[in-house]
């Protein structure tokens, strides 16, 4: 029987051969739920994200990357040189003792060092081996390098992001990296469950481009259904209106009046109840079809009062709406504070900062930072002695 303080993935051992964002994010999701995630890093520099600002420095102490810390808390770090036979032999022993391996090298790199799925599965039949790459392990693009922005471009996401007549823009959050991390961790957990039942592990080929196609279900279905590629609409929606950002007298706010009832409340709030009967706007479908005319009607009305007035009015009427928060505003939002999403994080140099907690509430589980993000190679001897009997 697990205690109330136990973690869902307690006892699961994960070896992470990953840098930067997509693979490490997958590892961090598993670590936050209690898996023992051990990060394998190069002895000379470690994960490249360690070199990215901002850095926190405690007096004269070593600088430590806040970006690295955010997706590598609750992990341990070991160092290994893949060109050193002894180091690779040690890694093979760790691979034999783990349940999951995550890697985001280009296709073939680990295989050349004797760390392919086939080789390791022969020694560890239940191993779940997950490769995270830009375009997958095979196919015409498999050998191409990929970063978040290139995959956002390749997947079609950038074609529907931004204002209709504006220059191409990417999503402000590294959408390709983190969607791949989510798909990878989800697939890993399903495969670990299967391996426990069957005694056989699996190989997972998780691509960033495939992950972005997966979360683009509404956009691809629009193309499949109409034969037309979806277009950029700024903050607007192709099937709902008013459902976008509007400017009050002082700042923008978002309104999502996506039903006839909400639309009637908006009309009443702006002092134009007869708009409900306007033949251009009498249904959700017509309002979406005639969005340009709808905006032309609403914009001058909203610009007559400050955004706070309209937000208060819509909230009172139950119409979904929100200010467009900066991260400073979002992090101090009363709902975020109530959810306890911002928690303390101590860095290896002694500096204290903040981080976002695991954002899903699970009964019987309380998220905690039980390991500070690691110094490079901090746990090399410790992990070997714990995971592999007879190691020194």
CA distance 87 to 377: 13
Q: Which residue in the list 36, 87, 148, 177 is annotated as catalytic?
A: 177
Radius of gyration of the chain (CA): 25
How would you label 308-345 residue by residue, b for 16+ Cβ within 10 Å and e otherwise?
A: ebbbebbeebebebebeeeeeeeeeeeebeeeebeeeb
CA distance 306 to 283: 28
Q: Is 153 exposed, middle or buried (0-12, 13-18, 19+ CB in 10 A)?
A: middle
Q: Which strands, in side-by-side order, build the sheet including 13-17?
A: 75-79, 36-41, 13-17, 100-103, 128-133, 203-207
Give yes or no: 250 in active site: no
For the chain, helix, strand, coil in percent to 5 are 40, 15, 45
Taking residue 5's Cβ as centre, other Cβ atoms within 10 Å add up to 9
Contact 119, 31 (CB under 8 A): no
Contact 23, 132 (CB under 8 A): yes
Q: Concatenated DSSP letters for 62-88? A: --EEHHHHHTTTTEEEEE--TT-HHHH
CA distance 33 to 11: 11
CA distance 59 to 106: 39
14 backbone φψ class: left, alpha, beta (φ>0; ψ -120 to 50): beta
Active site residues: 177
């Amino acid at each position: 029987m697990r205690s109330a303080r136990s973690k869902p993935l307690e006892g699961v051992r994960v070896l992470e051969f990953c840098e930067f964002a997509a693979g490490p994010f997958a590892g961090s999701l598993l670590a936050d739920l209690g898996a023992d995630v051990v990060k394998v890093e190069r002895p000379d520099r470690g994960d490249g994200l360690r070199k990215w600002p901002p850095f926190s420095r405690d007096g004269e102490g070593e600088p430590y990357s806040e970006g690295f810390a955010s997706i590598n808390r609750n992990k341990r770090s070991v160092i290994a040189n893949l060109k050193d036979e002894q180091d690779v032999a040690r890694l093979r022993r760790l691979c034999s003792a783990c349940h999951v391996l995550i890697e985001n090298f280009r296709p073939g790199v680990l295989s050349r060092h004797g760390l392919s799925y086939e080789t390791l599965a022969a020694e560890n039949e239940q191993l779940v081996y997950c490769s995270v790459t830009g375009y997958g392990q095979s196919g015409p693009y498999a050998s191409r390098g990929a970063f978040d922005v290139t995959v956002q471009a390749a997947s079609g996401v950038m074609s529907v992001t931004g204002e209709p007549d504006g220059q191409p823009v990417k999503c402000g959050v590294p959408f390709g990296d983190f969607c791949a991390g989510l798909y990878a961790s989800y697939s890993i957990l399903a495969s670990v469950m299967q391996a426990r039942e069957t005694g056989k592990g699996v190989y997972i080929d998780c691509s960033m481009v495939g992950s972005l196609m997966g979360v683009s279900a509404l956009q691809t279905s629009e193309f499949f259904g109409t034969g037309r590629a979806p277009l950029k609409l700024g903050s607007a929606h192709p099937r709902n209106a008013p459902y976008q950002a509007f400017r009050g007298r002082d700042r923008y706010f978002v309104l999502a009046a996506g039903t006839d009832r909400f639309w009637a409340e908006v009309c009443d709030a702006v002092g134009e109840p007869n708009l409900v009967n306007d033949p251009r706007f009498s249904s959700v479908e017509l309002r979406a079809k005639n969005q340009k005319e709808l905006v032309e009607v609403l914009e001058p009305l909203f610009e007559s009062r400050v955004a706070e007035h309209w937000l208060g009015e819509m909230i009172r009427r139950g119409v979904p709406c929100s200010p467009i928060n900066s991260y400073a505003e979002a992090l101090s939002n009363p709902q975020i504070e109530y959810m306890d999403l911002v928690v303390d994080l101590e860095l290896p140099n002694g500096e204290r900062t903040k981080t976002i907690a695991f954002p899903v509430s699970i009964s019987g589980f309380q998220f905690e930072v039980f390991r500070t993000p690691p110094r490079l190679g901090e746990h090399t001897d410790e992990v070997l002695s714990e995971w592999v009997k007879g190691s020194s």
